Each structure stands twice: as structure tokens, then as C-alpha cells.
Amino acid sequence: MLLFFTVWINFCSTFFAHPMYFSYTNMDIDAQGGCVLLSVRLFADDMETVLHNKYNIEGWIGTKAEHRDGRRLLREYLNERFSITVNNSEKIELVADSMTIVKDDETVFCFYMKGVARQSISRMEIDNRLLTDFFEKQSNLMIISTGRNEKAYKLNRKNHIIELSLE
């Protein structure tokens, strides 16, 4: 399914003027080990909108014109708009695996993050509000894998929370 969404994002960004607003997140959960791995794909121009409108800075990430605070502010934005709470109490801190930001065909940023809970995970609440503050029709597609099980979710401005039982 990851391949399908990667091809779809690249197709849309190549042949259309970015007519849809969506992100794609793949989440792998190791409930026993309390570990969560995330890869988040967002259109580069949407992230530039965040930098410009929220933080009033210009400069494409990964170019000579990159603002010195751009990557830090994008991490701040991601942590503000995407959160994970486990076992009804512990908020997992999402740490960037050195916040690798890759541009695919100069159109998509890929963020790779990791979170570790202090205990095994039996319940999880995921709040994904990425870009819904800037784009009314933003959709955030999530594929969540727990061992051999995989499930897809479509989130938006009104429906942005997923509750999982991992027992």
C-alpha cells in the first residue's frame, strides 16, 4: 500500500498543479516493546505554506535559500499537530531519526520519526491534525501496522483522532 500512495503522490505532483491536499503517514507499532515508527510524507509547497504563514519565514528547505530555523520550526509544527497518547495517560515524545528530510522529485518531504513509551502499549490515541489549520479540505491518510495487521484511516479537520486497542 505504501508503494501505491508514493506513486499516487508523485503522479499528482507531476501531472497536476497539486489539486488535492493530503498527507500520507505510515505507522508501525510494536505494542510489547512500546515503540512507534513513523514516516510522514507531505507536499513541499504545503510545508512552505506552514513556514510562511505560521512563522513568517521564507526559504525552501534543502536549498541554498533555506532559513536557518526552518527545520527546527517544521519539527515544532509536526509535534504540535501530531500526537500519540498511550494507555490513556502517557504522551509519547516523537523524536526525529536525525529528522531526515528528503525531497522526492522536488515535491514531497519525508519525515522519519520514532517514539518510545515507558511501558508496553495496550491502548493508543493518535491525533493527526497536520495541515488542517491551513487547508480546509486537507486529508491525512494513515496506514497503521501492528505486527501482521494493517489498517488504513482517512482523517480530516473534523475527524482527526484514531483510538486503538492493542490488547
Task: Output the pLDDT for position 100.
Answer: 61
Task: Output the pLDDT for position 7.
Answer: 47
Distance CA 148, CA 98 (A): 28
Instruction: Name the residue among 111, 150, 146, 116 with its Cα closest to residue 128.
Output: 111
> Looking only at Cα atoms, what is the longest distance across the chain?
48
Each residue's pLDDT tens digit, 2-55? 545 554 455 454 444 556 788 999 999 999 999 999 999 888 788 888 888 999
Q: How many domains does the chain have?
A: 1
Each residue's pLDDT tens digit, 72-109? 888 889 889 999 999 999 999 888 765 566 665 656 78
Task: Output the pLDDT for position 106.
Answer: 56
Question: Could you tell me the sign of the dihedral formed by the alpha carbons of 74, 80, 85, 90, in that order?
Answer: positive
Question: Could you tell me the sign of the dihedral formed by the alpha carbons of 75, 94, 145, 125, in that order?
Answer: negative
130: left (phi over 0), alpha (psi -120 to 50) or beta: beta
Three-class secondary structure of residue 44 per DSSP: helix
Between 81-85, 110-114, 119-123, the lowest mean confidence (pLDDT) is in 110-114
For residue 142, name the pLDDT band (cuts at 50, 70, 90): very high
- Structural domain harbouring 120: 2-165
For residue 158, name the pLDDT band (cuts at 50, 70, 90): very high
Contacts of 7 (CB under 8 A, 6+ apart): none
For residue 141, name the pLDDT band (cuts at 50, 70, 90): very high
Residue 165: count of CB within 10 angstroms of its CB:
7
